[in-house]
Amino acid sequence: MSSDATPVPYTQPLVFGQRMQVLRTRRGMSRTVMAGLVGKSTSWVKQVERGDIGVPSLSMILRIAEVLRVRDLSDLTGDQTLPTHLFIGPGHPKLSAVRTAIDTFPFTADREAPPSANLSARMSRAWSARHCAANHREVVGTLLPDLIRDAQLAVCQTDRAADRRAAQAALAEVYSLCQFFLAYQPDTALYWRVVERRMVAAQESEDPHAIGVAAWLAAEAHRDSGHYDAADAVTADTLRYLEPLLADAATDVRAIVGALKMAAGYTAARRGDTGTAWHLWDQAAGVAKKLPADYFHPVTSFSRAIMGAHAVTIAVELHAGGESVRQVAAADATTIPSRPRRARHRIEEARGYHIDGQPEAAIATLSKAYEAAPDTVQYNGYARRIVLEEAESKSPARRRRAAELAARIGVLAA
């Protein structure tokens, strides 16, 4: 077998380099792309995979795990004794109740579904609570079980076609809120079940906005799983459907078109395609400029205020340290009204500082993210990776600050 061939898993225990090669090829990532993302040469990647170079340092292992979206470090290192979950956070106490509501089949005779106006008002309050609460998973997890059951029941009990389409749109919106709650929790099957159900409900609704939101969230799910082609397909197909409708479209539909362009830009950046990523950012920024100055999309957060944060993420995903820090300086986190979205932006800022070799600034910025929304930091793999790496720093002061933050977010828990 060629030295460049992918080893067959499980025929014998795999060493680090072989595991890295298997995970890289599963992602469809070339050695050249991976080398650029971890800041090494293509020959270095090849030497590690062939075993010519020993196991890298912890900081490089964590960087490789981030690039390959390894959810558990033991999948990369082969050490099962101390698994460290990066991209799967802890199971939330409300997860079981939400799972039960999703999996329960409603019967139309059980009780009468609430009026559509009641569901709509409750969903508005739920989105508001999600954006305003520091412990947003706790708040949303409390509201979701009843919302899921009532929205499912509303679909079952509608008789008229128009009412059924409206009920499906409401159900799709509830599933959208579910996806935010379920993201990075230890039930991947449930997460994808919600993604699929929301797509079906949105299509049944025939509502352009519901379809756009469902596509945006599906693209997020595909990209975070490393399925870049699927993410590109869903954004491209949905944009082809929505863009001819823009002339007479409502603000929410125009915003979701901008959000989809931005989602495609994220995927391009994750692939390492600099030109396409920034071109799509420019297109999304053009859409944002035409929105009302105070507009903020409740699901995607798309708005004028968010474009600076998006620019930071594009630069970070491209692993451009200097450009990341330049975009951090240009962005204004205080204009982002949503606490979890503001926390996520702070995490992206921290990633930018870390890539640029400014670990002190990275840890300080993660502390700001924690202040904005602890729930966001606790479940974010990038934040966990930076804290883990700096908890091993040679600087006693930085090691202490990282360890304190690690204790607060539970990052070192097995």
Predicted confidence band of residue 321 (pLDDT cuts 50, 70, 90)? confident
Integer Cα distance of 126 and 148 in angstroms: 12
Predicted confidence band of residue 80 (pLDDT cuts 50, 70, 90)? low
Amino acid 405 reads L
Between 65-79, 159-173, 181-195, the lowest mean confidence (pLDDT) is in: 65-79
For residues 284-301, average pLDDT: 96
Q: Which CATH class is domain 16-77?
A: mainly alpha
Integer Cα distance of 77 and 241 in angstroms: 44
3-state helix, strand, coil in the chain (%, to 5): 70, 0, 30
DSSP 335: G
Q: Which two tokens stand for residue 101?
A: 């509501």
For residues 57-72, average pLDDT: 76
For residues 108-134, average pLDDT: 89
Mean per-residue pLDDT of the chain: 89
For residues 264-268, average pLDDT: 96
How many CA within 13 A on the CB side of residue 253?
Answer: 16
Query: Per the confidence metrics, is the pTM higher than 0.75?
Result: yes
Yes or no: say if 178 and 144 are a contact pair by the CB < 8 Å rule. yes
Query: For the segment 351-363, what is each residue's pLDDT rounded down to a tens digit?
Result: 999 999 999 999 9
Q: Where are the domains positioned within the chain?
A: 16-77, 90-206, 225-303, 305-414
Query: For the segment 206-263, what is each residue's pLDDT rounded down to a tens digit?
Result: 999 999 999 999 999 999 888 899 999 999 999 999 999 999 999 999 999 999 999 9
Between 7-11, 42-46, 275-279, 299-303, the lowest mean confidence (pLDDT) is in: 7-11
Q: Which two tokens stand for residue 381?
A: 């793999």
Distance set, CA 394 to CA 37, 63, 178, 359, 411 (Å): 24, 18, 41, 12, 19
Query: For the segment 282-292, what is each residue's pLDDT rounded down to a tens digit?
Result: 999 999 999 99
The answer on pLDDT for 19 being more than 90 is no
Integer Cα distance of 127 and 267 in angstroms: 26
